[in-house]
Structure 1
Amino acid sequence: MYGMKLRLVRELRGLSQENVANRLGIAQNTYSKYENNQIKISAEMMEKLAEVLEVSPMDIMGQVPAVINFEQNQGTLFGNIETLVVGQKELYEQIIKSKDEEIARLVKLLDSMMKK
């Protein structure tokens, strides 16, 4: 489920499966099974993976357009990076919008409290 994203981020970071596995304290073949969606990733392991890959767990679990496909080699690495960036940009824009709405709500609440 998240294997393709793990592989993409790992490769963009210039890391080998063995390097990531060593940092996680697991066997390389276990990490390979994560990338190939052969075993489920626990919440605890997802946190560790995100830390090692220097991303948030949501970056791994969030939606990235299915255009990224290393198996079929239909795009260049730059095309894959561009797709990842577009997906992250959309996620960040949603987060910013949510924060802006929360700030506006809190400002209104503060204004009403100050008028009392």
Structure 2
Amino acid sequence: MSTKVKLQEVRMKKGLSQEQVANLLGMTQSNYSRKENGSSKISSNEWERLSKMLDVPLEDIYESEEGNLVIFKDNATGNYSGINNIYSIPKHIEQLLESQNKYIAKLEEEIKKLKQL
């Protein structure tokens, strides 16, 4: 699900209009609209404020198509000044790692028993 859809859905579930959110962020409704529809970047500070304002984890309102959380850092004038990449591990990878860790523990136990023989 794209950022604009997730952000819009959460905003609407909270019963907030674009204008209300824009006012809380200290910007015009049209500026917020551009950010919500993806035509203008959202700064890391704005992401944090949106997350707190909507009372949801940042991951609930923003996730790239690859499953990586990416927060754009830019200043108030909208000039690009870098990217801060934060990656989240997909659930199926977490499950695979957990399964492998259990298997490793089982093998270590078997090795311990074999050494005792």
TM-score with structure 1 length normalisation? Answer: 0.52
Q: How does 1:89-100 map to 2 (within 5 A)?
A: 94=91
Alignment RMSD: 3.1
> Residue 38 of structure 1 aligns to which amino acid in structure 2?
S
Query: Which stretch of the first structure deviates more once superposed, 33-42 or 55-64?
Result: 55-64
- Please state which structure has a larger fraction of its residues in strand: 2
How many pairs align? 75
Structure 2 unmatched runs, 5+: 66-87, 99-117
Partner Cα distance (2:18, 2:30) in 1 = 8
Once the two structures are superposed, what CA deviation does each residue of 1:32-68 show, in whole Å capped at 9, x if it has no partner?
011211101111111011111111111112379xxxx
Question: What SS does structure 1 have at the residue aligned with 2:51?
Answer: helix
Report if the CA contact (8 A) 2:3-2:63 is conserved. no
**2:31: which partner in 1?**
30
**1:5: which partner in 2?**
6
- Please state which structure has a larger fraction of its residues in helix: 1
**2:44: which partner in 1?**
43
Report if the CA contact (8 A) 1:18-1:28 is conserved. yes
TM-score with structure 2 length normalisation? Answer: 0.51
Partner Cα distance (2:44, 2:64) in 1 = 18
Partner Cα distance (2:64, 2:31) in 1 = 24
